[in-house]
A and B are shown apart, each in its own frame.
Chain A
């Protein structure tokens, strides 16, 4: 029984050897380990998002020579959106020096990482998704569901439907069906929809589509029987075009389907063809390549042949722009932390401090070349979401058109619910609530 120990030892030795060779130099560098997914059912999201993120890091390196002279580096490991692979990738990549933050773009992987990154004191960014109660920085010091947590998204969508119907009072007696992805991500909003239904008096039915969602005939027949006023599509990946096509087949009007923030990309509507014309979806960042920062990426990165997207037509698409916005937020957090701790490689805990002071008002966003790309963010030590604004866009068959102003979700309504959940988590885990002074100190 020594063969497997030998194999294991050999594999391990090989691993160590490779890690040693691949380890970056210790010069002033800040590292972003990327648990990306470029194959599997969610590859469209993965390639767009990580492509945009890498493109922005490339832009900062090429145009500015890094952040105040500190070069940005990154390494990738494929996860296929699977939790075990994500954990393996985490263990593999964490040996890199000077890690700034983790961005797994998967709720399942993020959940599995919370204990680990809290122990390692490195921030975990779950932009536009994640565990809602991690918004409470008193309980989750290292987790940041930046811009839009799932509850805010829900509130934004309900407010938008209300505005189309003529105010929140008009929601009474209306019927809304939520079609959600059968995953931790999809289920995250079940309780908040129930709560809002009770508060505003609309009738609610929530229907699950099992992962990955390429068969939805029975769900849409149920919807047809229920005759709702609106269907909220809380999908992901292949589930979205299938939903739009099946809706067309069963005769549900597409302009009464509202997509959530992970059902809002070109990759969701183009495969659905005409069935998607008139479909509306929420977003935190507009699509399009006309924003100055996107133009600079094209000029500096793509024209030099260093672009990450294989298909240049996807530049400025929803996922690509989200990756760019995610890049802006990560880089600005590093920059803000550098102002306090010095222009050098920072520790994870120092970058955490940077994220907790990530306050970009519309003027600063404009200076970064991202005016109208996203609105603003205002993260504090106890609010790790940062009150992002949302807008709604409608697909005309060729591109997304913005059809609303920047809308604020009802944060005051949501905060007590979030705190109740996070305090329950803290009690279960025996976590002592952090105070503002605790948050101010950072270990190096």
Chain B
């Protein structure tokens, strides 16, 4: 990951605030009134959950430079922990279950982060695979985790906070949006603090970081902990707000790769990048599949269309990474500066 340029996020400034607040305002005040249930259920809810997972992985991979292929496992830990806390601890409010779920994921994340003290790069990636396989195995093997449900599938409890119910597509969207907004803000504050600079120092040159007094061991484990916390909460959103039911197999290696792609395509070491990447990964296949079904649906069956879609997406990703290795964020920033320059000239 040493090719990534050091992107010290700017301190809180007005323009960032303005942009983020505008998006939030639209998300809270406009979208709930104009969106259809398809928009919420099939696009925005998976988008929000995957974006949050992307933010989490970006802290670990983008900022702290530790490659992980265990993201889906931490999502699974979050989802199943929240389910069990909610089920087994009487009178615990949902928000309590979610925080405890995040902490459980963080604990597991720190345990599987221990090899990072000795391993780097591909070797670390391979060792995080262990998390992926171990967690899925444990959740399948021990029926206790799914309350001995015959098929190992858990049912999400109703979403409510402080007496407010978040049922229905719009309610679940607002719930997810709030969780994502709060955690993203905290993540943003974290990466622009001293800890965030420690992450980057460890990523760019571990030895140099050690010499200037960065506690490398603590920093790495902290990165694993924080990242897994956020990914765990993303898992809760995936299970409780989006699918409303969850089986361990839903959090397989494919999902881990998906989150890694979100981070790489969106832009490493950028909080915004996770959102760009997730938008592309969630929306692009849907647009393609609709377009394909509309244009060619009468000629080919859905199977052929689906295969074509994969080829197109694969080609697109290769092309994109060749032309813009710094991710969608870099593309967006360039576009913005050009527009601003053009406006100034005009």
Contact = CB atoms under 8 A, between A and B. Distances in A.
Given A14-B287, A39-B307, A76-B302, A111 B140 contact: no
Interface string B240-257: 001111010110000000
Contact of A7 (B150, B279, B291): B279
Contacts of A1: 19-20, 22-23, 272, 275
B2 interface: no
B249 A191 contact: no
By DSSP majority rule, is chain A's interface helix, strand, loop, or mixed? helix
A83 B151 contact: no
A441 interface: no
Contacts of A185: 151
B178 interface: no
A36 B306 CA distance: 11
A11 B286 contact: yes
Interface residues of A, number: 56
B209 interface: no
Contacts of B306: 38-39, 78, 80
A431 B35 CA distance: 30
B5 interface: no
Given A12-B43, A77-B302, A78-B289, A2 B249 contact: no
Contact of A38 (B42, B155, B303, B335): B303
B245 A91 contact: no
A88 B276 contact: no
B243 to A, nearest CB: 6
A68 to B, nearest CB: 28
B332 interface: yes
A401 interface: no
B153 interface: yes
B290 interface: yes
- In this complex, the interface size class of chain B, counting residues with CB under 8 Å from chain A, is 35 or more
A88 B42 contact: yes
Contacts of B43: 8, 11-12
Given A78-B302, A80-B306, A87 B247 contact: no
A131 B151 CA distance: 8
Nearest to B277: A4
B276 A92 contact: no
Given A7-B279, A78-B302, A83 B294 contact: no
Given A78-B289, A87-B42, A2 B247 contact: no
Contacts of B276: 3-4
Interface string B291-305: 101100000011111
Contacts of A131: 151
A15 B286 contact: yes
B303 A111 contact: no
Contact of B301 (A21, A22, A38, A132): A38
A92 B40 CA distance: 11
B263 to A, nearest CB: 15
Interface in B148-199: 150-153, 155
B335 to A, nearest CB: 8
B287 A2 contact: no
B37 interface: yes
A115 B302 contact: no
Given A12-B43, A14-B291, A78-B303, A95 B38 contact: yes
Contacts of B301: 38, 76
Contact of B151 (A7, A11, A18, A184): A184
A421 interface: yes
Contacts of B140: 182, 208
A11 B289 CA distance: 11
B87 to A, nearest CB: 9
Interface string A361-401: 00000000000000000000000000000000000000000
Given A187-B151, A187-B152, A16 B245 contact: no
A190 interface: yes
Contacts of B44: 8
A183 B302 contact: no
Interface in A62-82: 76-78, 80
Given A3-B276, A5-B26, A188-B150, A87 B303 contact: no
Nearest to B279: A4
A101 B269 CA distance: 47
Contact of B243 (A7, A78, A84, A95): A84
Contacts of B35: 12
Given A21-B294, A39-B307, A112 B244 contact: yes
B285 to A, nearest CB: 9
A188 B143 CA distance: 12
11 contacts: A15-B290, A36-B302, A38-B304, A47-B303, A78-B303, A78-B305, A78-B306, A80-B306, A84-B250, A190-B150, A211-B249
Closest 5 CB pairs of A and B: A38-B303, A184-B151, A4-B279, A78-B302, A91-B42
Given A38-B303, A131-B151, 7 more contacts: A3-B332, A11-B287, A78-B302, A108-B153, A116-B244, A184-B153, A429-B155
